[in-house]
Amino acid sequence: MRLKKSVKEKVYIAIVESENGEESRLIIPSTSINNAAKLARNHKNVTRVIKVKSTHITQ
């Protein structure tokens, strides 16, 4: 029996501040870090983007 090969997908995690002052994280599948930051800024209830970093999700 063969094991299934896991798939790694590159995503960006944006740490943002919401309208009520809470800090939260958004997982954004995007092509570049600049694109991910722009998508995070345009997300509803987000007042500012604190940090964007890349990571991999294994499925």
Query: Quick one: which of 57, 42, 51 has its CA closest to 23?
Result: 51
pLDDT digits (tens, 9 = 90+) for 3-53: 777 788 899 999 999 989 999 999 999 889 999 999 999 998 899 999 999
- Whether the per-residue pLDDT at 1 is higher than 70: the answer is no
Q: Which two tokens stand for residue 30?
A: 């995007």
Q: Provide the 3-class DSSP secondary structure of residue 46.
A: strand
Give the residue extent of every domain in the chain: 10-51
Taking Cα atoms as reference points, which of 42, 39, 43 lies closest to residue 29?
Answer: 39
| Rounded Cα–Cα distance for residues 32 and 7 (Å) | 19
At 28 the pLDDT is: 92
Q: How far apart are CA 10 and CA 5, in angstroms?
A: 16
What is residue 30's predicted lDDT score, i.e. its pLDDT?
Answer: 85
